[in-house]
């Protein structure tokens, strides 16, 4: 693997260019007179009761931020209980198709009715469950998990919406970049001047060194897509919109599965030969090494999934916890220190957003390179 000084220069350039666009993650207002909202009649209070003390509210707010949501709440007024945002479509399959607006849930405080079925959002996991008209959720005594029927959920959630926005943004940006090449004789213009160095960086410092001149072109479309997709979602997570797409386990799992499938379906016979019958070692050892190497095939995408998920998720938790300390200390010394530390961490998180996108892309290219590498071994009798 070849790594030059260009990755650092490009990451720093992108980091500086995006500083004006960044902001802090959502913070929650401190009010000593916050009124708890009334629970739905008959619903279990532990599912609908709002926290009353400041520490519990901060903990609940952080949990709400890192989880997905069926509505897009920009902010809320604790004193009046009003939410500012917009609902998203809920699409369920439960003995038939059910489509309705998430506004029916009233931010998780009410039971939604659709074609004679009743549904609630469980506050512990943010999932939708079928209930009775009172919104009763029963739990397993041993595990504490809901025992209600959970319909298939195809809803456009906050994470799904952010993925769609990122996809449309990428389509618009790189379509414009391609058109500027055709119009200006191979010279980029407009916003493409910022993204062109990143495209060249992925080609010259990620794809070619790790995959090779012969095979890198067929992987370039995926590598560019995965880099900018992860990058944009990471940056969305640093805005006040409260999006945590790459800190969502299912999103990183899907991305890792794509890398896993491309690696193994495009691999040559040398790749599989090294896994099941490794050359250059005694035959008894090959039998022992084969299951270990096969296990490594699945560990590689698993490490991709966990690395991206854990870094982004932990960054959100730490940053918002430090911001929450400002409202717990309620003193100019403690609040000032928390603000300064959260500011430094916010700057660091911007760098992490670029770094994690780079690492995911680079490791994917490394796996592709190992899959198509051509080995030239001597005859076994010469070993």
Report the sign of the C-alpha dihedral through residues 331, 337, 338, 342, in that order: positive
Cα 230 to Cα 19, 194, 237, 246, 329, distances in angstroms: 18, 17, 11, 7, 35
Q: How many CB atoms lie within 10 A of CB 305?
A: 22
The dihedrals phi and psi of 112, each to the nearest 5 degrees, come to -100, 135
- What is the chain's percent helix, strand, coil content, to nearest 5? 55, 10, 35
pLDDT at 35: 34
Tens-level pLDDT at each residue, the chain (383 residues)? 333 444 444 444 444 344 333 333 333 333 333 333 333 334 334 444 555 667 777 777 777 677 788 888 776 666 666 777 788 899 999 988 999 988 888 877 889 998 888 999 887 777 899 998 888 888 888 887 888 889 999 999 989 999 999 999 999 988 888 888 888 877 777 777 888 889 999 999 999 999 989 899 999 999 999 999 999 999 998 887 778 889 888 999 999 999 999 999 988 888 887 888 777 777 788 888 888 888 888 999 999 999 999 999 888 888 888 887 777 777 667 677 887 888 888 888 899 999 999 999 999 999 999 888 876 554 444 44
* Nearest partner of 11 among 184, 191, 227, judged by Cα: 227
For residue 242, the cross-strand partners are: none
pLDDT at 283: 79
* Nearest partner of 107 among 124, 85, 92, judged by Cα: 85
Q: SS3 letters for 125-165?
A: CCCEEEECCCCCCCECCCCCCECCCCCEECCCCHHHHHHHH
98: enclosing H helix or E strand: strand 97-101
pTM of the full structure: 0.77
pLDDT at 201: 94
The dihedrals phi and psi of 222, each to the nearest 5 degrees, come to -70, -45
pLDDT at 43: 39
DSSP assignments along 197-237, one per residue: HHHHHIIIIIIHHHH-TTTTHHHHHHHHHHHHHHHHHHHHT
- Asked if 231 contacts 341 with a C-beta cutoff of 8 angstroms, the reply is no
Exposed e or buried b for every residue in 258-291, given b needs 16+ CB within 10 A?
bbbebbeeebeebbeebbeebeeeeeeeeeebee
pLDDT at 17: 42
Residue 336 CA to residue 283 CA, distance in Å, equals 66
Vertex 151 angle, CA 149 and 154, to 5°:
160
Residue 325 CA to residue 164 CA, distance in Å, equals 34
Residue 298 CA to residue 314 CA, distance in Å, equals 24
Vertex 305 angle, CA 304 and 307, to 5°:
65
What Rg do the C-alpha atoms of the chain give, in angstroms?
25
């Amino acid at each position: 693997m070849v790594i030059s000084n260009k990755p650092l220069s490009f990451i720093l350039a992108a980091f500086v260019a995006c500083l004006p666009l960044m902001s802090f993650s959502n913070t929650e207002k401190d009010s000593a007179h916050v009124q708890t909202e009334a629970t739905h009649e008959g619903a279990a209070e532990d599912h609908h009761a709002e926290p009353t003390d400041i520490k519990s509210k901060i903990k609940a707010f952080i949990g709400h931020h890192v989880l997905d949501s069926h509505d897009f709440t920009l902010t809320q007024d604790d004193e009046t209980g009003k939410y500012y945002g917009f609902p998203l479509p809920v699409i369920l399959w439960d003995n038939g198709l059910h489509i309705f607006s998430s506004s029916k849930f009233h931010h998780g405080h009410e039971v939604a009715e659709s074609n004679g079925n009743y549904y609630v959002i469980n506050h512990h996991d943010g999932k939708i469950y079928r209930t009775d008209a009172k919104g009763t959720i029963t739990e397993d005594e041993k595990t504490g998990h809901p025992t209600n029927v959970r319909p298939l959920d195809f809803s456009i959630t906050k994470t799904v919406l952010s993925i769609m926005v990122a996809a449309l943004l990428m389509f618009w940006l790189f379509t414009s970049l391609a058109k500027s090449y055709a119009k200006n004789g191979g010279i980029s213009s407009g916003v493409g001047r910022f993204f062109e160095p990143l495209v060249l960086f992925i080609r010259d410092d990620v794809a070619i060194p790790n995959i090779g001149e012969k095979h890198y072109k067929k992987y370039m479309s995926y590598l560019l897509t995965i880099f900018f997709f992860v990058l944009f979602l990471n940056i969305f997570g640093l805005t006040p919109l409260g999006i945590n797409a790459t800190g969502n386990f299912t999103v990183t799992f899907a991305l890792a599965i794509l890398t896993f499938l491309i690696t193994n379906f495009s691999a040559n016979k040398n790749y599989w030969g090294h896994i099941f019958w490794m050359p250059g070692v005694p035959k008894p050892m090959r039998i022992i090494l084969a299951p270990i190497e096969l296990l490594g095939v699945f560990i590689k995408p698993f490490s991709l999934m966990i690395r991206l998920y854990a870094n982004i998720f932990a960054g959100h938790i730490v940053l918002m916890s430090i911001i929450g300390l400002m409202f717990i200390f309620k003193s100019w010394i403690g609040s000032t220190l928390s603000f300064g530390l959260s500011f430094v961490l916010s700057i660091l998180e911007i760098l992490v957003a670029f770094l994690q996108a780079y690492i995911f892309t680079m490791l994917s290219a490394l796996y592709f390179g190992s899959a198509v590498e051509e080995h030239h071994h001597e005859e076994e009798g010469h070993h």
